[in-house]
Every structure is written in structure tokens, then in C-alpha cells.
Amino acid sequence: MAVELRAGTAVSVRERSTLVRFLWHPGAAFSVGFLALVVVAALAAPVLPLHNPIVEYYPHLFQGPGSASFPLGTDDLGRDLLSRMVYGARTTLLGVGEALAVFLALGVPLGLVSGFVGGALDSLVMWVADLSYSTPQIVVVLAILSIYSQNETAAMLAVGVLGSFGLTRIVRGSTIAVKNEQYVAAARVSGLSWGRITVRHVLPRIAGPIIVQASLFSSLALLFQTGLEFLGLATHPPAPSWGSMIAEAAQFIVRDPWMIVPPGAIIALTITALGLLGDRVRDVYAERWAPGGVVALGRTRERHQAAPAVVAPSRAAEEDPTSGEAAVRTPALLEVAGLAVVLESRRAEIPVVENVSFELEKRGALGMVGESGCGKTMTVSALLGLLPSGARRRAGSILFDGEALHHYGEKELSRTRGSKIGLISQEPVASLDPNFTVGSQVAEVVRRHRGLSRAEARSVTLELLDMVRLPDPSRVYRRYPHELSGGMAQRVAIAASLAGRPKLLVADEPTTALDVTTQAEIIALLRSLQDELGLSIILISHNWGLVANLCDRVVVMYAGQVVEMGTTVDVFTAPRHPYTAGLLASDPHLVSRADRLRALPGSVPEIGQWPEGCHFAPRCPYAIQACIDAPIAEQRVGAGHAVRCIQHERLVLERPA
Amino acid sequence: MSGVIDAPSPVLEVEGLSVSYRRGLWKAPDQVVKDVSFEIRLGRTLGLVGESGSGKTTIGKAIVGLVGVEGGEILFCGEPLAHSSRARRRELSASIQMVFQDPYSSLNPARTVGQTLAEPLMAHRRLKRAELAGAVFSILTKVGMDPSAARRYPAQFSGGQRQRIAIARALIVEPKLVVCDEPVSALDLSVQAQILNLLRDLQRELSLTYLFVSHDLAVVRYMSDEIAVLKQGRLVEYGDAETVGERPEHPYTQALLAAAPRPLHKRLDVTDAADGAIEHSCR
Amino acid sequence: MLRSVGRRLLLSVPLLLGVTFLTFLLEALTPGNEALAILGTSADPQQVAALSKRLGLNLPFYVQYWHWLDGVIHGHLGNSAVTGVPVATTLNSHLAVTLWLIGGALVMSAVIGITFGVISALRGGVLGRIVDVVSLGGLAIPTFWLGYLLVLLVAVKLRWLPAVGYVSIGSSLGGWARSLVLPVFTLGVGGVALVAKQTRDAMLDVLSREFIRSLRAWGLASRSIVLKHAMRAALPNVVTLMGLYVVSLLLGTAVVETVFALPGLGSEVVLATSQHDLRVIDGASLYFTLIVVVVFTAADLLTAWLNPRIRSGR
Ligand SMILES: Nc1ncnc2c1ncn2[C@@H]1O[C@H](COP(=O)(O)OP(=O)(O)OP(=O)(O)O)[C@@H](O)[C@H]1O
Ligand code: SF4
Ligand SMILES: [Mg+2]
């Protein structure tokens, strides 16, 4: 249980209160401060030491800014601009406030009900929302203003009503999303009423989107309102408002350009503040509701700064225990040595792959096993130069068929991909472009690599589709990805990967998303392609069975390192690393119902929390002090069998007969 | 297993169950569970296997009342559930619980583990703060977590720990029947083993009855007394675990068994069987 | 494809009827009636009554609406209460300016906005920051303010372009173009900001999708990946946004037409509003709604064409 406790104590930023985190940001602090200032000034205007906004101080016409009694100057009639702006803020506040109140009062309940109830009611509400979405607000508002002359309240209420359907849509969408969350299903199974579920689970979740929409709507309403004021449709002349101040200033723009600055600036600033506020709320919510604990990333201690914890970085070159046999073996197609990949965050480099070395013969099939987060995908992505943004190859060499891929730039790598090394991924349907027929996608790849005409590319594509045993290739050619089953999509992806006649095919969990019967078919296909085309294969999989079935050698990875490597038979029948042995023992395939699974305690440590010494030590039943003290080197334990454990002997001694 | 003399009474009986989903206002409903019958006796486990979309989850949801029953009956300790009132359903939720597939989305990220665990209790009983805290602490200990976990948020736990918390939430109301919907398929192999062990320990300790849903025949075989195999909404095979798991009669179950290769039988006849399957399914 | 157009039409007819009906409904609540507006407030009550009767203003508003609809079908929108000129004639003569403005702003925001958005999605860093600032500012600066600042700078100080007024395309192509540069730019800045932001978000989202990784893994050139595949996937979002943008542009055209003294629909309807010229407002609501319908239908067609699920109809 010790391990669990430790993992749990990883303190996360989340513990700071949401409000504090929200304000801990220059944009947010500015916008909250500025908006508060505007609101307070507007409310307190009558008690502030200001001139009367409609009194004309006759001799002081067109006074520029800076004087003590008229800090922002005066207008064409000698009225104080500052005071007009502050009183104008009252008009703005009232108008936007009215619109916002209607917007929220209609939008939120309607969206909640529509999302929860669904069915015909939902269709109706969405239809009305569509309708009001495309209603030109200006028409309705002008019709109102032509009747209720210069009645700003009526106009802004109408703006609120028309806008509220946009909110309805958003609230409904979020409600449906939350409704389908498993934790809501769990709450229902726990016997909670819909009312409580709404209050506890739904409202907190949709509060963010609502605030974002409210701030967006407020700025639109503000623009609309000042626009009406500018056009002289909303306010009676002497009364101050931001829009009418601009209209007044515009008449004298050549004579006194300054007059137009203060009202325009305050509108722009207010809208900017509202925009920043919305963005910040959105970001904070996105963080808060992210399911994973990615937050931990930024806080990793920098203890991995020192050179990679490696005993012999040049192992692959001279000290390779297997190099003596090199003469007898077929030359390697791929040699990876000392590969290290790091994730770069603002404060630190976090290792995700450390000192990985392996090689692959021509026509060989290498399996890569290990649990999630152990760095398998990162390792093969590094081979292809396909590391995700933020990740970087920090060290190591990659020799492929005599070419040093680690010296290649993006351009050369892009030429290598597909023509030397192909990749197929875990999500077959998602890995095809949904907007093009599968045939045209594969044909594009064919043309890129073989420089053929369109017609030739088409026939090559049909051959490829036939080669991956898709029935009726010319029909599949015209299909879109969403029209294919997972298994068919994976075959298409394999065809596209082979379009450039690569020598190596990397299959990253190619069957995880597929049903078991389809899994077996895909593996069988890979095996026959290997024979037909003389391909080498790297197969990443969680499934020991599939690996055993296809691969002659296996690499076992744990927390960024290769912990064991050898022939499939050796590794599976006589594992020398406690992790390998533990994984095999926890596979229910191999245990009868009467026995208890020999489960390893704890779980794979998060990146950035790897121990100094043996990465597996916290979960290892054999761990001793020496395991924790220093990094463990790889050791050779048999022909082509290497293991990263100082006590590998004990596994042999203690293995049950 | 076959020679149980004094067979305990069935906790759950499902008779001719069918369930449909509506796909839209104008389209005909789509029947995803068709005439399914089985029963589970006290303290036993029924494993439900099938490929994705075969209707396994839907059966589980019908039992806990998350989807409506279209036809047939579900009896819990003899009480018919198919048309019971909402209020009765709510009461029964103290006896029938569910563990969900995805430990990442089954816990509300904005509520502490303690709040999440207390929720089902508060829905059923009026408890004092201290009693609630006591119940939360003891259930956390029971699923192998440190009680201090109650103050933290789900994001601070690994997948396996979250699944322990989800199990704790299901068990805190002391249910009789637990529907486990793919409780380990989102987990890594080594953690999967821990959770499977935990579920078996808890079953023995609390005499729980499980409906264990999974797409993995090996996991189901390890967990269950009896196995039901589902294909496109229908039961195609149903019997005790040994027979169904080792010597299935139905060709579909045989294909499932053959397609899940076992590690140590290297290059076994599996792929040959699979080659045959390709011919079959591609024509 | 057909289905999505059908859906839009199903929405358009109620929209047109709904908006015009709503206008009539609101007008029916009018305190003073149209006859008063024509004859002036000091008119003899008998005269007013007579005129009201002649114009059919005494009928219930739904009967009036029916008559109006009947007229619309035959091409009559009634006469202006203030000038007596047929409404259709007035509006038609003002339509061109407004259409040029909307079209210009749409093209500008599409071309510049999408370019900005793509660049900032790909480059990030300083360029991304600049686009951020531009889009925040572009949205925050009120159209009329920007318009006057431009007039002051470009027309008054630098004398590069005319400050106000409109030259029709028939009389002088160059003059027409010069008279529209500033108004279109003023109107389009907000659109550029909106489109850039949306394009960037959509591109970033698409670029993180799995299929982009596999296109790279298959060795396609990054030009094709970005310009063909990623753009194609991001575009529907942008098109939808542009549709909504047009709805919000309508007030903008009124403002810009006022700032630059252009004889467009917007300034005409603003004038009618202050004069209580109801028939003009009715007509304008029809025109504006038609513009929206056309734009939305075009946007729907484009999105449908971009989306294989709809296009293939399977
Ligand atoms: N809420 C829903 N609305 C409509 N259809 C649904 C819904 N939930 C499931 N389905 C459909 O019902 C069928 C059976 O689904 P179910 O999830 O029960 O199968 P499963 O065997 O558990 O699948 P998996 O292994 O993928 O979880 C599938 O075709 C699925 O797409
Ligand atoms: S080095 Fe030590 S801790 Fe690591 S696996 Fe070997 S015995 Fe276990
Ligand atoms: Mg399921």
C-alpha cells in the first residue's frame, strides 16, 4: 500500500482554490479590476465630485484634456467629457444588464430542460433556436424603435431574447455532454434525483460555458447598444451615452479630433476586458475538467537534469555483449542505441524514454510489450521523427539500413516516412482523413512515393487494397472512412503504409480497438505480408498472445527503459526480470479459476516520478538497498538475452518448478 | 462446481429481456437486446461476454434502471423491476449497484473522493457528518486505499486507484447485486490483476452477487461461475464457466476462444483458424 | 446535399414569414398610427380618419399583414408614408451599396482571416501572439469609431481616398472602388478578427487529430497535409461562423453607411425608423431577411459539399 500512498501525495495545482487561480493571471486581474471600476463609478456617479453631465460651461468649448477642472476636456457645447462618460456608463450598464438578464433567464432554463428531456421538445427548441439564430436582430430592434421611439430598454430586452437562443444551444449541448458522463449515470444508479444531479453535477460543470457566453454576449450587446446610440435611435439628445458621444464628436472630428478618443477608448477597453475575462474562464474550466492529472507535469523536480542515468552510453558500439555473434547473424536493418526522449515543459525536461537500445534484423519481427505510459509509442515515434510537440529526441542514434536517421531534418525524415518505414496506429478509423475517399488517400500516398500518373496510381492502389485482402477493392476505393468497419479501416491503413514499399512496418497496437476475431485476422495478415514482401515488423501490443504469435524477439519496456530483451521463447518461458515475470503472472489467460492472480502491487509511476535507481524497485518483490541506490545497467544473461536487473539470478533460483 | 447440492436462491432472474434505443424521432427503434434470459444465484458470478455493440452494457443498464425495458421481465429477489415506479427504483438502488468501465469519466473531477463516496449514502439515509465520514473511511480501507484519499480529487489518482474508488462508491450502500461493466478493460495488465483480486476478495467477504461484463473471455473465465455469450443482442451460449470457457459448443464462442491466443503456445494453430475466418468474413 | 438544402428552406420560409409577421405585430402596438405620420401631428382628426380608412389602417393587423403578403407576391411593398414613393423602388436603389459592403467585408474577412488563422496555428510564438492581439482588438474596436479614425487619417490628413460619399459602379469604376475601400475595410476588421480566431482554433484542433499523424507517417508533404487535408477539415467551422457573421453585419452596414454617407439599405432603414415610416421598415425587414437566407443557404451548401457524410448521402 506504500506505493499507492506515495502516488496519491503528488500535490497538484488543483488544490489552490479556483478563484485564486482564476485571478492569478494578468489578463484576468486587469479585466476584473477594470470592469469593477466601471461598474462602481457608474453606480456612484451621483455622489462622485463630477460636473453635471448636461450643464454647458459656455466659454470652455472644445477644451483638450489635462485641465484640473475638466480632466478629459469638454465637448462642443462645453460639457465635461469625464462626467458624460461616467454618466454614460450608467446607461450602458443598464442596457447591457437588461439584455444580459433576459439572456440568462431564458437561455439557461430552456437549455437545461431541452438537454435533459430530449425528444420532441428538444427538436422543437432547437428549431426555434435555429430560427432565431438567423433572425436579423436589427430588423426586430428597429421595428421596436420605430414604435417605442428611443426606448433603449425595449430594444435591449429584444436583443436579450434573440441572443438567448444561442445560449440555449450551448447549455443544451453541455447538458447532454454531462448527462452522458458516467459519473452522472453513477449518481443515478446511486438513487439521486434529477434535481440533485442537476445541482451537484450539471450546474457546476456548465457554469464555465455560461460565464463565457455571458461575457461574449455582453460585449456584443454593448456594441449593439452603442451602435444604436450612435445612430441616434436609442437616447434623447442631451442625455449622455457612449455611442451618442461618438456621434457628437464625429461632427467636429476635423476641428477637435480629441473629443472622439475617450468614448471610443472606453468602449474598446470594456470589450477587451470582457473578452479576456471569457478567455480566462474558459481556460480555467478546461483545466479543471480535464480528466487526467496532466497538472503534475509542470511541477516535476529537476532531478533528471544530470546526464541520462546510464552506465554505459556507448554500449551498443563496443561493449555490446552480442556483437561477437554479429558475423554469424544477418546484418541488422535497424539499430537504435542510447535513445532518449524528453518532454520539455516550461521549467524542466522530463525524460520519457531513457537509453533505449535494440536492433532488428531484416525480415525480423520485434514485439514491444509493457503497460501504458512506459514509452513504447514515444520510442517508435522518435524513429520516424513523429514525436508530438513538446517532445524531443535528446540523445541516441538510429541507424536504418545504413542511414543515420538521427542526423536527418524534417524534410529528409518526411521522405523516409512511408518509403522506408511505415506506421499503422491504434485507431484505424480515426487514422484516415474523414473528408476523402479511402482510395484517393491511398492513391495520394502512392503518387507521392512512386511519381505515377493519376490513372497508374489508381491501379496500384487497387492492387494494394487487394493485397491487404479487402473484398471488392474498387468498391472500397470509393468509400469514406466512416463507411468502413474498424477491421476494414485498419486494412486500408496498412495498404497506405505499404504504398511507399517500406522495409519496416511499425504497428502501434494495431488491434487494440478491434474485436478479438478481427484482431486475429489483422495479425494473420501482417504475418503473411511479412512473408510475401520480406517486411520487418515492430509490433507494439499489450497482448502477450499476439506478440507470441507474430514476433521472434521481444523488448519489454518499463517506465521509459528496456528492462528485458530476448527471443520470444526465452522471455516468455524464462523471464529474468521481475517485471516481466510479474506481468506474465497477472495474465488471467494463464491462471485457472481456482488460483489467485499474482498481482504486482501499485502501478507504473507517472513520468517525472521515476525513482533514481531501478525504476521498478517500488513494486519489486526482490528489491534490496542496492536497487535503490544507483541506476541499473543492462546485463547480458544469455544469447541475445539482456535484462536490466541486478538480481536476475534470483528469478532463476526461485522459479517454481 | 456442478455438484452444488443446496443451490442458493436466485438473486437476479432475467426473463426474455429485450431493449431498444430510439435513433431519432422518425426512425424505427433499434432493438439491441433480444429475448435474453439468465439467472444469478446468491454469491455467484455470471460472466457476460460478447464483442463491442453486442448489447452487454445495455443489459447491465436495464438491470440498474438506466434504460427502460421494452419486453420481458427482470426479477430481483423475486420482485419484478421492469415497470416499478421511480421511487421504488430509487430505494432499490441501495441493493443493486454498478461499477463502470471508464475510471476516468465515472468520477466527477470537481468533487473530492469523500464527496463522491458520501453521495449514495446521503441519497438513502439521513446520516450525521461523523457517521458519513466513518462510512467513507471504512469503505476506503476495505478497497485497499488510504482513508486520507477522501480529501483529494480524482485527478490525483491513477486509473487503478480510481477504479478502487468507483468500487467503493458501489459498495458503500451495501448492495446485494453489483453489475460490473468492463471494470478492468481500461486498466493495464498488472493493475487489472489487482482489481480482479479485489473484486473476488470482496465477493467472498460480503457475499456479493456479480454480473460481470467483459469482452475478454479470459477475464470472464477467471471471474465467473457461469458464462453467457452474447452476439448481436442474443444469447448464443449459456452454461457453467468450465464448459463455456474451455469446451464451447457454439461456433461463435469457439471463434472467440480461438482468436484470443495464449502467450506460450507460440505460432499455434490460432492463426490458421484465423486465416479461415478471413475467407469467411470477407466474402 | 439535397436534404440539407431542403432543411434550410424549411427553416427559411418560417423565418421570412416570422420576421415580417413579427414586424407587423410590433407595429400594430403602435401608439400613433401611420396616417398621423403622413399628415403630421397637427392634422385634422377627420382627415386622419379618412386617410386611415383609405390605407386600410383600421383593419386588424393580421388582415393588413395578409394584404401586404399578397402585395409582396405581386411585387408591391406599398408606398412610403413620408415620401409617397413605392417602397420597392426606394429599397432597390439602395440595395447595391449594402450588398457591395457585405460582399466586400465577407471576402476580406475570409481571405485575410483564414490566412492569419492558418499562419498563427502553424507558427505559434510571436506571430501567434500578434494574431491574438489583432483578433482581440479587431473585435473590441467599435466600427463607427474605427470608421472616423480612418476618415481622419486616410482621407482628411493623408488625402488618399475620399472621406465620404458613393460613386456608382456604372459611372466610374475607379471612383466606385475608391469610395468603397474605407467602408469595406472598416466593416471587415471585426470579421477578420473573428475568422482568424476561429480558423486558428479549428486548425489547431484538426492538426492534433490522429489522421494528421498518419498522413505524416505515410510520408505526405506537409504542404499537402496542411493546405489540402487540414484546411478541408477546418473549413466547415469557418463557413458556419461566416454565416453568423453576416447576421451581425447588418447593424454594421447601417453604421458604416452613416459614417461614410453611403446611400445603402441600412442608413435608409435608420431614417425610416426615426420617421415612423412603417412600410419602409416592413420592406427592409423582408430584404434583410432575404439576404440572411441567401447567405445561410450558401453556407449550408458549402458545408454540405465539404462534408462527405452529407455529400455521399449514404
Ligand atoms: N444511449 C444509446 N443510444 C443509442 N444507441 C446506443 C446507446 N448505447 C448503446 N447503443 C448502441 O447499442 C448497441 C449495444 O450497445 P452496448 O454498449 O450495450 O454494447 P457493448 O457490447 O457493451 O459494447 P462495447 O463493448 O463497445 O462497450 C450498440 O450498437 C450501441 O451503439
Ligand atoms: S534491480 Fe532490484 S528492484 Fe530492480 S528489478 Fe531487479 S531486483 Fe527488482
Ligand atoms: Mg460496453
Structure confidence at residue C164 as a pLDDT band (50, 70, 90): confident
Structure confidence at residue A17 as a pLDDT band (50, 70, 90): low
Nearest CA in chain A to B146: A5
pLDDT of residue A310: 25
- Test A250 with C144 for CB contact under 8 angstroms: yes
CATH of domain C90-271: 1.10.3720.10
Q: Which of B173, B216, B271 sits opposite A520 (nearest CB)?
A: B271
Q: Nearest C-alpha of chain A: how many angstroms from B265?
A: 8
Whether residue A162 has its Cβ less than 6 Å from ligand 2:
no
Size of interface A-B (CB pairs under 8 A): 240
Q: Which of B146, B189, B274 sits opposite A4 (nearest CB)?
A: B146
For range C99-111, the mean pLDDT: 92
**CB < 8 Å to C210, chain A:** 425, 427, 430-431
Q: Nearest C-alpha of chain A: how many angstroms from C151?
A: 9
Q: Which of B33, B56, B252 to mutate to test the pocket of ligand 1 (most atoms within 8 A of CB)?
A: B56
C196-209 per-position pLDDT tens digit:
888 888 888 888 88
Whether residue A568 has its Cβ less than 6 Å from ligand 2:
no
Give the residue from A433, A437, A444, A490 with the most C CB atoms within 10 Å of its CB, the best one to mutate. A433
Cβ atoms of A521 and A491 closer than 8 Å: no
Cell of B51: 464483442
B118-139 per-position pLDDT tens digit:
999 888 777 888 888 999 999 9
pLDDT of residue C33: 60
CA distances from A444 to A437, A461, A574, C36, C309 (A): 11, 9, 47, 71, 21
pTM, two decimal places: 0.79
Average pLDDT value for chain A: 82
Which residues, 6 or more positions from A198, have their beta carbon under 8 angstroms from its beta carbon? A112, A116
> B196 in contact with A at a CB cutoff of 8 Å?
yes
DSSP C35-101: HHHHH-TTS-HHHHHHHHHHHTTTS-HHHHHHHHHHHHHTT---B-TTT--BHHHHHHHHHHHHHHH
CA of B158 to the centre of ligand 3 (A): 22
B142-155 per-position pLDDT tens digit:
888 888 889 988 88
Pairing state between β B96-99 and B177-181: parallel
Structure confidence at residue A335 as a pLDDT band (50, 70, 90): very high
> C237 in contact with A at a CB cutoff of 8 Å?
no
> A304 in contact with C at a CB cutoff of 8 Å?
no
What is the rounded distance in angstroms from the CA atom of residue A208 to the CA atom of residue A206? 5
Q: Which atom of ligand 1 is nearest to the CA of B33?
A: 14
Nearest CA in chain A to B150: A8
pLDDT of residue A299: 25
Structure confidence at residue A9 as a pLDDT band (50, 70, 90): very low
Closest CA to B50 of B216, B195, B255: B216
Cβ atoms of A92 and A241 closer than 8 Å: yes
B197-212 per-position pLDDT tens digit:
999 999 999 999 999 9
Evaluate if residue A326 carries a pLDDT over 50.
no
Cell of A313: 552510453
With b meaning 16 or more CB within 10 Å and e meaning fewer, what string describes A356-375? Answer: bbbbbbebbbbbbbbbebbb
A354-373 per-position pLDDT tens digit:
999 999 999 999 999 988 88
Evaluate if residue B38 carries a pLDDT over 80.
yes
Evaluate if residue B37 carries a pLDDT over 90.
yes
- Test A190 with B173 for CB contact under 8 angstroms: yes
Evaluate if residue A322 carries a pLDDT over 60.
no
Nearest CA in chain A to C27: A147
CA distances from B40 to B183, B222, B226, B253 (A): 19, 17, 9, 21
Atom 13 (ligand 1): residue with closest C-alpha? B53
Whether residue A628 has its Cβ less than 6 Å from ligand 2:
no
For range A471-477, the mean pLDDT: 91
Please name the residue that has the C-alpha cell 475538467.
Answer: A289
Please name the residue that has the C-alpha cell 483638450.
Answer: A64
Atom 27 (ligand 1): residue with closest C-alpha? B52
Evaluate if residue A339 carries a pLDDT over 80.
yes
Q: What region does B25 belong to: left with phi over 0, alpha with psi -120 to 50, or beta?
A: alpha
Q: Which atom of ligand 2 is nearest to the CA of A650?
A: 7
Q: Nearest C-alpha of chain C: how many angstroms from A308?
A: 29
Q: Specify which residues B20 forms β-bridges with.
A: B31
For range A641-652, the mean pLDDT: 88
Whether residue A581 has its Cβ less than 6 Å from ligand 2:
no
pLDDT of residue A14: 41
Average pLDDT value for chain B: 83
- Test A1 with B144 for CB contact under 8 angstroms: yes
pLDDT of residue A336: 94
- Which protein residues touch ligand 1 with a CB less than 6 Å away? B 21, 32, 50, 52-58, 215
pLDDT of residue A615: 93
What is the rounded distance in angstroms from the CA atom of residue A602 to the CA atom of residue A27? 42
Q: Do chains A and B meet with 3 or more Cβ pairs nearer than 8 Å? A: yes
Q: Of the bound ligands, which one is closest to the alpha carbon of residue A612?
A: 2
Nearest CA in chain C to A480: C308
Average pLDDT value for chain C: 81
Backbone angles phi, psi at A356, to 5 degrees: -95, 125
Evaluate if residue A303 carries a pLDDT over 50.
no
Atom 1 (ligand 2): residue with closest C-alpha? A645
C192-245 per-position pLDDT tens digit:
988 988 888 888 888 888 899 999 999 898 888 988 899 988 888 888 888 888
pLDDT of residue A16: 54
Window 292-351 of A: residues touching B by CB (8 A cutoff) are 292-293, 295
Closest CA to C103 of C179, C175, C187: C187
CA distances from A313 to A590, A612, A615 (A): 37, 17, 18
Q: What are the residue ranges spanned by the domains of chain C?
A: 90-271
pLDDT of residue A556: 95
Window 199-258 of B: residues touching A by CB (8 A cutoff) are 200, 215-219, 221-223, 241, 255-256, 258
Q: Which atom of ligand 2 is nearest to the CA of A614?
A: 4
Pairing state between β B71-76 and B79-80: antiparallel
pLDDT of residue C310: 62
Structure confidence at residue C35 as a pLDDT band (50, 70, 90): low
Q: Which atom of ligand 2 is nearest to the CA of A627?
A: 2
pLDDT of residue A302: 27
Evaluate if residue B179 carries a pLDDT over 50.
yes
> C272 in contact with A at a CB cutoff of 8 Å?
yes
For range A116-124, the mean pLDDT: 85
